[in-house]
A and B are shown apart, each in its own frame.
Chain A
Amino acid sequence: SAVISQKPSRDICQRGTSLTIQCQVDSQVTMMFWYRQQPGQSLTLIATANQGSEATYESGFVIDKFPISRPNLTFSTLTVSNMSPEDSSIYLCSVEGDRLLYGYTFGSGTRLTVV
């Protein structure tokens, strides 16, 4: 399965600032996914990022708050903009498995604390 490098692994940020999270995959993948996992909660999909097109955002998430880039088939970034303490979460990128219908593989996650 794909190996995903995600960074930073953690950060403490001031409210009102922005943080960009990077996700690098060791193979070309069509779709990359960004998830949020709030403390003690399950995974919530933020958006799906396809190379060469605008990201598709889930209900409750908007591009102005979570802009996403997908410049090629192995890389994506998620920016958390104008942060508030409510944005404190773990952010995870993921990709499809090697075969259709296989489960997602997740990056190691970014633990964000906004103070």
Chain B
Amino acid sequence: QKEVEQNSGPLSVPEGAIASLNCTYSDRGSQSFFWYRQYSGKSPELIMFIYSNGDKEDGRFTAQLNKASQYVSLLIRDSQPSDSATYLCAVRVEGQNFVFGPGTRLSVLP
């Protein structure tokens, strides 16, 4: 059974702080890793993907991958109230379907 785990939250951070979202996965064959943002009542929106160990930065977002530890994280710098949403981690083995985590609800407090 392939599993992707996330803390359900809510994770509350003050505006301007760094929000750190974590995700662990069970399948060592996983090759690609994705972070989706889902606002309440909306569909998921892809914000980051990462394939290689290390960090990948895109604007205020940084994805970090450590395949040895089976761990992927998302850092959001200078958090804004508009970042308040549920963040879904998704993991994929090549040729297979995505496995989504349960999501972490982030609340950025003004």
| A and B pair up | yes
CB <8 Å contact, A107 and B43:
yes
CA distance A102 to B48 in the complex (A): 10
Contacts of A41 in B (CB 8 A): 102
CB <8 Å contact, B101 and A104:
no
Segment at the B interface, from A13-21, A42-50, A61-69, A70-78? A42-50
- Size band of the interface chain A makes with B: 10 to 19
CA distance A22 to B90 in the complex (A): 25
Residue of B36, B46, B51, B102 near A101 (CB, 8 A) is B51
Segment at the A interface, from B12-20, B73-81, B91-99? B91-99
Residues in B lying within 8 Å of A, measured CB to CB = 31-32, 34, 36, 41-46, 49, 51, 88, 90, 92, 94, 97-98, 100-103
CB-CB nearest in chain A for B92: A101
Does chain B have a CB within 8 A of A103?
yes
Contacts of A107 in B (CB 8 A): 43
CB <8 Å contact, A48 and B97:
yes
Contacts of A104 in B (CB 8 A): 46, 90, 98
Of A90, A97, A104, A111, chain B has the most CB atoms within 10 Å of the CB of A104
CA distance A108 to B97 in the complex (A): 20
Does chain B have a CB within 8 A of A105?
yes
Contacts of A43 in B (CB 8 A): 44, 88, 100
CB-CB nearest in chain A for B103: A42
Can you list 8 A-B pairs, Cβ within 8 angstroms, ordered by A? A42-B100, A42-B102, A43-B44, A45-B97, A97-B46, A101-B32, A102-B46, A106-B45
Residue of A45, A101, A106 near B94 (CB, 8 A) is A101
Kindly provide the distance from the CB of A9 to the nearest chain B CB, expressed in whole angstroms: 10
